[in-house]
Structure 1
Amino acid sequence: MKNFALIWIFCWLLSPHWAHAQRDLEGLVYDVVTKQRLGEVYVKNLRTQEAIYNNSRGEFKIQVLPGDRLQFRKLGYNADTVEINNQVALIINLKETIKQIQTVHIYGRRNPDDVRDELKRDYKKAYDIAAPKELLSVGMGGAGLSIDALYNMVSKEAKNARRFTQFLDKLHRENIVDYYFTPELVRNLLGLEGEQLKVFMRLFRPTYDFIASNDHYQLVKYIKSKYEIFKLHPNLRPLRELPDIKLDVNKEK
């Protein structure tokens, strides 16, 4: 009976079901010219519609099956699509494009990438502490767990550093939206001024995902389509932000 079970398991492992089981595929994304790693790259499995962003070190991990197609997009770069066969890992090289929005519609604003690089220099220690460390270390005595990496996972300093860098990453994405979705652009397209312009900007501010995955033409099309809604509801106003209410749940009565 035991031998029969072992034979059944062996056959199942060799079956097409196992051979085509979904797996995690890891990879890196580089700038094809500078050879620098690229972060904030949008990675999408076109079959499953699963989408992720890679990390600041250019690394990504996503589930795939043979035959799947992965799409890679980053603001300011040509998109690339790769078909998955039996690759153990992927190396993706993206080519920078001409930033049409920047050359035509940007008026004296600092490039968000320059701002982010400056923040990384100013807060280098926080980024160094927040960076993931290898859990396994290899030395003269063989492989073992890295005490420094374990400490970095659980220490209060490391947790605070990760929260801080995550906040800066979120701020960077908001800066990118502001960089392209500008009052000057909306004013030139729609002729709005004053309070109407402010209301439109708040009501129809696009998301970072939209800005990162679309070009200037799509942004203009988006703004004009939202203006049709705005004209139908001229008195529409953004909801007021609710105040933060802090409750002391540990307070004893």
Structure 2
Amino acid sequence: MRSGFIIVFLLTLFTVTVKGQQNVVRGQVTDATNAKLPSVLVKNITNNQVTLTTDSGNFEIRGLVGNTLIISSPGYVSDTLFVADMKFKNVKMTPLGITLGAVNVRGQRFDPRVEYAQVYQKSKVHVLSPTTWFGKEAKDARRLKKYFEKEVEERHVDSVFTKVYVGSLVPLKGVELDNFMSLYRPTYEFVRSNGGASMAAYINDSYKKYQALPPEKRVVPKLTSEVQPQQSKP
């Protein structure tokens, strides 16, 4: 009788495990050079699940055949992936035609606490619940929370340090303006503490520094993950 119970229990556990694995989409995100990309946001817009790639570019996200994933990261063209099967996904991201640190176009309204309430709930630590301290789901949620908090800060900078505003203060247009804004983009802390005349003064002072740079220094380095060969020491 007891052995029969154990067999039923193991079969049930196996079924639940297999079912759980079938409900997870796995993959890896790389760039054109096959370099693995960490901290890339992967969102399943069908069930509103979200995750970040690991340091090795891998991701796991709950999903099923027929779902749609959006893969996005600053400096890269966002990619859309339709889940046609549950095979391992290899996603290659294309750098934006501009450069590293290029001015990002973000929607102004973004409240992650509302949009991703489940992430903030899972990120909480409860003293009597070890899984909230050491569980993978909880740790992933806390990592996402930090990502969202940084995104909120960057969007605030975007709302102040706009192309229209900066372009009204400096005689730059097009790619030159993009490069200038990338090179002298203020921090969130600066924007939060300075406004109006202080921001205008910062932009004008930055423009003087920009003019003093040699032409080759006025261009932001192209986005690349290639590892440069180390030079041998003499």
Q: TM-score, normalised by structure 2?
A: 0.47
* Larger CA Rg, structure 1 vs 2: 1
Taking structure 1 as the reference length, the TM-score comes to 0.44
